[in-house]
Amino acid sequence: MSSPRTTSAAIVAIGTEMLGPLRQDTNSLWLSARLEEIGIRVVRKSIVGDDPDALHDELDRAAAAAPLVLTTGGLGPTADDLTVAVVARWLGAP
């Protein structure tokens, strides 16, 4: 039995720097185009700063909107980047 094809996705861009006027979220634009090429409709895009609670909440909202959640950014070597820990907690993984 094959699994149903994912037809929609949500994209979460992570990083406080993305909330200011000096950066554009070009990753989400690129991802949206690639997803559309393969028939996956983007139903939600969001930008969230480097705040663990805000990221956790946004992952909940994204997952409620679509079966596929993609994240960009948030993997820098800075002390404020807690993305890996937050996503692991959200997934219930160590």
We report the CATH number of the domain holding residue 80 as 3.40.980.10
Name the more confident of 6 and 61.
61
Number of separate domains in the chain? 1
Taking residues 64-81, what's their average pLDDT?
Answer: 84
The answer as to whether 2 is a domain residue is no
Q: Which amino acid, 88?
A: A
Residue (of 74, 53, 81, 88) closest to 11 by Cα position: 74
pTM for this model (two decimals): 0.87
The answer as to whether 1 is a domain residue is no
Full residue range of the structural domain in which residue 41 is found: 8-91
- Beta strands in 1-94, from DSSP E residues, in sequence order: 8-14, 41-48, 68-73
Which tens digits make up the pLDDT trace of 1-48? 444 567 999 999 999 888 999 888 999 999 999 999 999 999 999 999
The answer as to whether 46 is a domain residue is yes
The answer as to whether 68 is a domain residue is yes
The answer as to whether 22 is a domain residue is yes
- Give Cα 90 distance to the centre of its chain: 13
